[in-house]
Amino acid sequence: MTEIDRAYPESFFRGVTSPDAIDRKYMRVLGEAFRFDGNHMYNREYDEISINWNDDDNSLVNIKSQKKDEKYKYENGIVSVSTKKIKEMKNRYQNDFSYERSPIEGNEYHGNLLLNLSNISKQLRKSISEELAVNVDTIYTYNKEEERWTEYKTEV
């Protein structure tokens, strides 16, 4: 096992804030869930989107329980993607796509997906977001009336 294999678990979670990022009729994730919009720049070249590394059962508990303004921050959904997939993408897109661990206060599982916007066209940026969405293997949705989460496995 290489050092990078030890540093990253088999999958990660992405919290969904946009109500339009998951098609609930077909239970499909849209590229909107992984949109690199240029609003979260890292080292002036890379845009970042937050993820939670699935190190253990507490990682999912952590992301499910995050709140903003007294509501669950990710009540629109949480999705899971295989780390193997983003390793393949990192190899394909070389220095323009990457990922990292970046623990923050209250969330030791926090990390980021990184995309170099200075080298990637808007069309390719959208394609990368859609590639991530197509490779979601699990969707978690929150039912406000029943106050519970439901897990849906997708076919990747």
pLDDT tens for each residue of 92-133: 999 899 999 999 999 999 999 999 998 899 999 999 999 999
Task: State whether the Cα torsion 138-140-141-143 is positive or negative.
Answer: positive
For tokens 């990747």, what's the residue?
Answer: 156
For residues 156 and 138, what is the distance between their CA atoms, to the nearest angstrom? 9
For residues 54 and 130, what is the distance between their CA atoms, to the nearest angstrom? 21
- Specify the pLDDT at position 2: 44
**pLDDT < 70 positions in the chain:** 1-6, 42-44, 156
- Specify the pLDDT at position 124: 95
Q: Is 69 left (phi over 0), alpha (psi -120 to 50) or beta?
A: left
Residue type, 121: S
Confidence (pTM): 0.91
Q: What is the DSSP string of 29-88?
A: E-GGGG---SSSEETTTEEEEEEEE-SSHHHHHHHHH-EETTEETTTT-EEEEEHHHHHH
- Specify the pLDDT at position 84: 96
- Specify the pLDDT at position 6: 56
- Specify the pLDDT at position 1: 36
